[in-house]
Amino acid sequence: MPPAAEKKDDAANAIATPAGSGSGSGSDGTNNASSSSSSSSAPTSAPAATPEQAAVADIRYQIALLDRGVTAKETRYATRVLRAISRLRHTLNKKILVTALNHFLPTASETKALLLEALALVPGDAEPMDLDSGAVTVAAEESAAAAVAATAASSTATPMDTTAAAPASTSTTTTSATTTTTAPATKAKKPAGPPASVNPEVDAYLQLLVVIFLLDSKVYGPARELAAALLAKLQQHSRRSLDQIEAKAYFYFMRAHDLSGNETDVRPMLHAALRTATLHRDDEGQATLINLLVRNYLEHGLYEQADKLIVKSTFPDHASNNEWARYFYYLGRIRATQLEYSEAFQHLQQALRKAPQTSAPGFLQTVNKLAVIVQLLLGEIPERALFRQPILRRSLEPYLLLSKAVRDGNLTEFGSVVDTHADKFKADGNYMLILRLRHSVIKTGVRMINLSYSRISTADIAEKLQLPSALDAEFIVAKAIRDGVIEASIDRTNGVMQSSELLDVYNTSEPLEAFNQRIGFCLNIHNECVKALRFPPNAHRKALETAEERRDREQQEKEFAEEMAAEED
């Protein structure tokens, strides 16, 4: 069987046959599932299928993964499914979703009615597709045949406990009907039709897809309602396998909440949810909720509360990279506001490293904008190459002009850049930080004068920096000396600034610190990599020899030794 068809078969089976072949001799369901899934990524569409059919098949595959995750009690599968959402959401349309709902949710399901009703708000073709055509049918028929065979083979069929074991997931690609011990005695039915019942995970996943689709279709109000309904439903269950979906549901709920311009206070609800997530040790939930709360605080200018929340809560180590990236960004913003620029810059760099590098251009732009300002506030000039990157070039243009003004120490130019782009800076929420840059501009100006002149009168400095008086210049230079920006002294009687000899930086501990920082960074990466390695249980057994093999080997060695002895004689 060609690989593509095999994958399709696999996915189809998982949905279509309520209970596949269970544990045979030597291979249990969990192992099978993980081995087959690790070899296959998301299914590519069969060549004959239209993009829409492919999308439905994709959803079907994701549902199969979710079911597998429930059976295997592994969170990895749900992670994969949720990660695939960002890819899937670009292909979604009304037709696909209606088809998916009709096929993957039970006919009598309340969710189905609710979701179809919500989808009716979006204009578009709502005619469900006919799935029984082309490649899909072939797969479906094969799985149907397999299901029938499985039923026939199991004479001692026992109905499975649906709540405990959550069937419909352990099907394998081979469907070895002859080794079956459990069978779909109660629920064998037409494979292409809707199932009689689904896991709450699947139900929630489909509702989440509809919420995202509504968001993408700019139907914000109903999207918020639907997400709220989803959250209410999820809170009734107490299943740890739902945690990740719940975290995503909160995320999209808040997204819809923000976009719909709803003014109601959601913070008490988020705090309650955070408490629950913490008690459940639900890492993803905690991470998402902390970020949502911090974001909400920052949106309303409540930096103090945001800071307190961060200090009093621990961000879970095992949170996904995306949540870490967001967290570092918020942390960077708070620290920058509190004037702790070097810490802020560190956090922002971490945010950039953790963020997805190819997708999420908006996030990269926002973080880079803030990072540029913080770097300028630190007295450093950002690298020119940063502003040349294709995804950053346009949106960072005002910031490039700003950096140029600071680098030249030109107050007039700085003022005009701030005035022309004030609206943009305000929209980015960086305006207040940019106003603080004024004294960085002056500092750079003073430093450049100090570098070029060994002796200069304060009146000339005032003229060069466009300051109102020589007295102002004197105070500014004094402050620069105090802050360690320049090495110079002021001769007050003559009104001149006298530059000191330049310090040789290689005589200080500066190089040592720089090297130490870099070495530390490399070692840290290595340690993180080692920690991130995964070892599947019992994988090392394959490498170990069995008793029989050992006997053979010992036998051979013995013979070899005897031969050697014989030769020596």
Partner 1 sequence: MTIANANALLSKLRGEWTATKPNHQLCGDLLIQLKIALTELSFLPTAGVQSAEELLLAREVLEIGALHSIAVGDFAAFDRYAVQLRTYYFDYAAAIPTSSQRSLLLGLHLLRLLSQQQIGDFHVALERLNSVTLTSDPFVRFPIALEQHIMEGLDHQVFAAVQNVPHPSYVPFMEQLLQTLRSNAESDKLKLSVGDARKLAAKIELHDYSAQVIQNALGYAKELERIV
For tokens 């749900």, name the residue.
78
Tell me whether residue 206 or residue 298 sits nearer to partner 1 (CB atom).
Answer: 298
Tell me whether residue 513 or residue 557 sits nearer to partner 1 (CB atom).
Answer: 513
Of the listed pieces 32-40, 147-155, 334-342, 397-405, which binds partner 1 according to CB under 8 A?
A: 334-342
Q: Give min distance, CB of 465 to partner 1, in A.
A: 11
- 299 near partner 1, judged by CB under 8 A: no
Among 138, 436, 457, 498, binds partner 1 (CB under 8 A): 436
Of the listed pieces 117-125, 225-233, 331-339, 559-567, which binds partner 1 according to CB under 8 A?
A: 331-339
Query: Taking a C-beta distance cutoff of 8 angstroms, is the pair 284, 244 a contact?
Result: yes
- CA 251 vs. chain centroid, Å, equals 12
Measure the CA–CA gap between 334 and 324, rounded to whole angstroms. Answer: 15
Q: What are phi and psi of 455, to 5 degrees?
A: -150, 125
Q: Give min distance, CB of 536 to partner 1, in A.
A: 24
Among 431, 457, 470, 490, binds partner 1 (CB under 8 A): 431
- 509 near partner 1, judged by CB under 8 A: yes
Query: Taking a C-beta distance cutoff of 8 angstroms, is the pair 374, 345 a contact?
Result: yes
Q: Give min distance, CB of 475 to partner 1, in A.
A: 5
DSSP codes, 83-127: HHHHHHTTT--HHHHHHHHHHHS-TT-HHHHHHHHHHTTS-S--P
Of the listed pieces 93-101, 119-127, 149-157, 471-479, which binds partner 1 according to CB under 8 A?
A: 471-479
- 442 near partner 1, judged by CB under 8 A: yes
Of the listed pieces 203-211, 219-227, 385-393, 429-437, which binds partner 1 according to CB under 8 A?
A: 429-437
Decide: helix, strand or coil at residue 498.
strand
CA torsion through residues 447, 450, 456, 457, sign: positive
Amino acid at 312: K
Of the listed pieces 67-75, 188-196, 295-303, 400-408, which binds partner 1 according to CB under 8 A?
A: 295-303
Tell me whether residue 523 or residue 564 sits nearer to partner 1 (CB atom).
Answer: 523
Q: Give min distance, CB of 270 to partner 1, in A.
A: 15
Tell me whether residue 256 or residue 306 sits nearer to partner 1 (CB atom).
Answer: 306
Cβ-count burial 128-138 (b if 16+ within 10 Å, e if not)? bbebeeebbeb
Tell me whether residue 125 or residue 423 sits nearer to partner 1 (CB atom).
Answer: 423
Q: Give min distance, CB of 526 to partner 1, in A.
A: 6
Q: Give min distance, CB of 502 to partner 1, in A.
A: 18
Q: Give min distance, CB of 380 to partner 1, in A.
A: 18
Among 31, 80, 475, 499, binds partner 1 (CB under 8 A): 475
Q: Which residues contact 544 (CB under 8 A, 6 or more apart)?
A: none
SS3 annotation, 225-293: HHHHHHHHHHHHCCCHHHHHHHHHHHHHHHHHHHHCCCCCCCHHHHHHHHHHHHHCCCHHHHHHHHHHH
The count of residues interacting with partner 1 (CB under 8 A) is 33
From residue 385, give the alpha-carbon distance in Å to each of 371, 397, 399, 500: 14, 13, 13, 34
Tell me whether residue 12 or residue 446 sits nearer to partner 1 (CB atom).
Answer: 446
- 479 near partner 1, judged by CB under 8 A: yes
Measure the CA–CA gap between 268 and 263, rounded to whole angstroms. Answer: 14
Angle, vertex CA 53, rays to CA 50 and CA 58, nearest 5: 125
Q: Give min distance, CB of 313 to partner 1, in A.
A: 19
Q: Which residues contact 2 (CB under 8 A, 6 or more apart)?
A: none
Tell me whether residue 214 or residue 446 sits nearer to partner 1 (CB atom).
Answer: 446
Query: Taking a C-beta distance cutoff of 8 angstroms, is the pair 335, 343 a contact?
Result: yes
Q: Give min distance, CB of 531 to partner 1, in A.
A: 12
The strand pairing partners of 497, in sequence order, are 456, 490
Each residue 510-529 as x (binds partner 1 by CB under 8 A) or -, in order, gives --x---x--xx--x--xx--
Cα R_g (the chain), whole angstroms: 32
- 339 near partner 1, judged by CB under 8 A: yes
Decide: helix, strand or coil at residue 415.
helix
- 301 near partner 1, judged by CB under 8 A: yes
Binding positions for partner 1, rule: CB under 8 A: 268, 301-304, 307, 337-340, 426, 431-432, 436, 438-439, 442, 471-472, 475-476, 478-480, 482, 509, 512, 516, 519-520, 523, 526-527
